Amino acid sequence: MAFWKTRHQMGLAALIMGASILLSRFMGLIRDKLISLLFGATQESDLYFAAFVIPDFINYLLAGGYFSITLIPFLAQHFEKDPEEGWKFFSTVFFWITAAISVLTLSAMIFAPRLAFLAAPGITPEASERLAFFLRIILPAQVFFLCGSCMSALLYLRKQFFVPALSSVVYNLWIIGGGVLMRHRGMEGFCWGVLVGSFVGNFLLPFLAARTGDGLKMRLCLYHPGLKRYFLMALPLMIGKSITIVDEQFIRIFGSLAGVGAISWLSYARRIMLVPVSVVAQAIGVASYPFLSELYAKREFPRFFSTVRAALQNVITLLIPLSLWMMLVAEPTVRLIFQQGRFGAADTANTTRLLQQLLICVTCWGYQQVLGRAFYARMDTLSPAILGSAVTVLVIPVFYVLTKTMGPMGVALASASSIVAYSLFLTIWWRVKEGREAFKGLLSSTAKVLAVSLASAVPAWVSGKANAFDAQGSPYLAALFELTLSGILFGGSFALLSSFFIPELARPFLERTGPVGRFLLRKKTA
């Protein structure tokens, strides 16, 4: 059987998702590098990033960001009882979601000029006109995203992770290609790349994959008894706007009030910040979710809670040291990736400050992704939606006040604070409803990981002061040298210290690093 049609176990699924997300994020950085090279942090790049506010909001209005997540438990139930009923349910959901997203997309295209003002209230009328043009190109991509999510949910249910993992890679390839081929037309080429990439990567590939193996037995079906129950579960995600969903839009909207270039600086910084979140937390969350859903459906609660705890612990153990090291090397990272062409040293300095601010909440980003999926595995979409919406309402004035008083730094600070608050709310509410079982030992182990990470940061910080290259004369070599040396020193120190002081937390990762990691664990055991 071809690898892309193979059913995967949880460990391999996490590895596949992690590798694909890492590749996708790397390609996303290449895409943003290309944008920064050609357009820097200018009004044209600001408009491109702002062009996603309305399409993303429409996607979120139909719970597009959570569509596969919410659909999987229902598909599992219906297909388990009767495959014929499963296909009827799937066909009904697919029909109505396609109809809804098509109507919303067409309406938004008609009213694009008015919506452009809402997306970026701080720009000029001329810039708003071009933003409306970008909007009309990008908007239809939402149809392909949402329809493709139906197909991906089916593949996840079959535990076939390869094609959904490949989708974002193909999507980014088309964006890069469109930007390069049409660079003489400004950011327009990137917009066309979004449209074509969403069709090929996010819809066509999952559709073709779903037709193989167990097949795709869809039919025209307008009603199914399970549709109402599914709609009621998805409704909180539609009407509730969690801060994790609107955070990027808030950054763009309030960034438009912080001056020209602010949206671009914030977008570049956020892109780098989310790399470890996606590679670690998203991979673990996506891979563990079908298994969590299955355990809860079978009422195997002890295993359910232990799986949640293990996933949370793994995310924290990886993200704390990663975020701390990235704060140390934020400037050479931004310099190496973006500083070229129209993106100058001043842009690097501005983006670096914003990146360091956003990195404060990286662990919380990963934590809430895993805990949120644990809520969804219990078929509880209401709690995250209410809590996330409450945080969203509370932070709107915070975003505004901090933007007006601190500019782009205020936007970044408001963003980081809101994710920390949401993670705290989720934790408190889970303890109220489910008790402390999923969090046993989590606080003390987090403190240990933080202490080991801070100790590991010392040699990495010292190495940054002893660079063999001149940052002015050879900026890229200097950046690469600092990243490499500090990475080796930090990683080596963390592996050594963790094997002695937190072996029970480091074991799952050290065992996978090869002979060196296993040697460190044996030395500790001996």
Give pLDDT, residue 332.
92
pLDDT for the residue numbered 186 = 87
Neighbours of 341 (CB within 10 A): 14
Helical spans, DSSP H, in 52-204:
53-61, 67-81, 83-110, 112-119, 125-138, 141-157, 162-181, 188-197
CB 91 within 8 A of CB 231: no
- Structure token pair of residue 108: 């938004």
d(CA 33, CA 31): 5
Angle at 97 between CA 246 and CA 201, to 5 degrees: 75
Instruction: Specify which residues 343 forms β-bridges with.
Output: 340
* Model pLDDT for residues 486-517, shown as the tens digit of each residue: 999 998 898 888 888 887 877 766 665 656 55
Q: Is 241 helix (H, G, I), strand (E, B) or coil?
A: coil
Q: Would you state the structure tokens that stand for residue 482, as one six-digit string?
A: 């600092």
What does the pLDDT read at residue 474?
76
Which DSSP string do the residues of 259-293 spell out, in sequence order? -TTHHHHHHHHHHHHHHHIIIIIIHHHHHHHHHHH
Maximum CA extent, the chain:
71
In sequence order, the 6+-apart residues with CB closer than 8 A to the CB of 297 are 73, 76, 77
In angstroms, how far is the first alpha carbon of the chain from the final one?
A: 44
Cα–Cα distance for residue pair 72/355, rounded to 1 Å: 35
pLDDT in tens, the chain (526 residues): 444 454 444 445 555 555 666 677 777 778 888 888 888 888 888 999 889 888 888 877 765 555 666 777 777 777 777 888 888 888 888 898 889 889 999 999 999 999 998 888 888 888 899 999 999 999 999 999 888 888 888 887 777 777 777 888 889 899 999 998 998 888 999 999 999 999 999 899 888 888 886 777 877 878 887 777 777 766 666 655 567 778 888 998 899 888 888 989 998 999 889 888 877 776 676 667 777 877 887 888 888 898 888 889 988 998 999 999 999 999 999 998 888 888 888 999 999 999 999 999 999 998 998 898 888 888 787 888 889 888 989 999 999 999 999 999 999 999 999 999 999 999 999 999 888 888 998 999 999 999 999 999 999 888 777 766 766 767 888 888 888 989 999 988 988 888 888 878 777 666 656 565 555 555 554 4
Q: DSSP secondary-structure letter at 201?
A: I
- Which residue is listed with tokens 């597009």? 64
**pLDDT reported for residue 525:** 47
The CA dihedral of 208, 149, 5, 172, to the nearest 10 degrees, is: 80
Q: What is the pLDDT of residue 119?
A: 86
Write out the two tokens for 268.
């570049």
Distance CA 270, CA 3 (A): 33
**Are the CB atoms for 79 and 86 separated by under 8 Å?**
yes
